[in-house]
């Protein structure tokens, strides 16, 4: 069976847009992951008392369009899974927060098995371990996309700024 893997941060979750508005910088600056941004991110995580609470505060990114894409994908016979990076800053708490976020924003999808599995990796490069024939990754990180393709999978570089084009590309890959 073919599997569509969705990244969370920057694809389902408006992490970068939220932080750019919060910090008064561009979304691209947030995504640089520079030492300055990493310090700001760490401070933001801890300002909530726990990384899990911080993640739960984030809004979904284009929820209606993403839910429609997920449903169409599942109805076409594909397996739908989450493939998300936890990072090294409190990975267990971040995982709990991400799972709670999914339960809050995609509750029926998780509970009814539309999203059949949530895969969490500590290092972004580990996403490539899920690549192979029939695997398609939707991710906003160009390095993750390149590594996934290099490991034998297909991937779409999702860009929130060109959301509709990114969704159309996913649909084209899946022949939806």
Q: At 115, give phi and psi (nearest 5°).
A: -95, 110
Indicate the domain borders of the chain. 3-15+58-174, 17-54
Six token digits for residue 176: 């939806």
Q: What is the pTM of this model?
A: 0.92
pLDDT in tens, the chain (176 residues): 699 999 999 999 999 899 999 999 988 888 887 899 988 988 888 888 888 888 899 999 999 999 999 999 999 999 999 999 998 777 888 899 999 999 999 999 999 999 999 999 999 999 999 999 999 999 999 999 999 999 999 999 999 889 999 999 999 998 86
Q: Sheet containing 3-6: which strands, arranged edge to edge? A: 117-121, 79-85, 3-6, 135-139, 154-157
Highest CATH level, class, for 3-15+58-174: alpha beta
């Amino acid at each position: 069976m073919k599997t569509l893997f969705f990244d969370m941060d920057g694809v389902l979750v408006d992490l970068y847009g939220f932080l750019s508005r919060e910090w008064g910088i561009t979304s691209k600056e947030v995504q640089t992951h520079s030492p300055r941004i990493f310090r700001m991110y760490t401070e933001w995580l801890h300002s909530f008392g726990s990384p899990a609470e911080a993640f739960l505060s984030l809004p979904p990114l284009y929820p209606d369009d993403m839910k429609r894409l997920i449903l169409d994908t599942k109805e076409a016979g594909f397996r739908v899974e989450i493939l998300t990076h936890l990072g090294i800053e409190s990975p267990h708490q971040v995982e709990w927060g991400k799972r709670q976020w999914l339960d809050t924003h995609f509750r029926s999808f998780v509970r009814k098995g539309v999203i059949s599995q949530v895969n969490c990796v500590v290092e972004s490069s580990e996403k490539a371990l899920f690549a192979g024939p029939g695997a398609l990754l939707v991710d906003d990180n160009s390095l993750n996309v390149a590594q996934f393709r290099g490991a034998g999978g297909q991937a779409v570089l999702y860009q929130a700024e060109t959301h509709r084009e990114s969704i159309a590309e996913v649909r084209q890959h899946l022949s939806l």
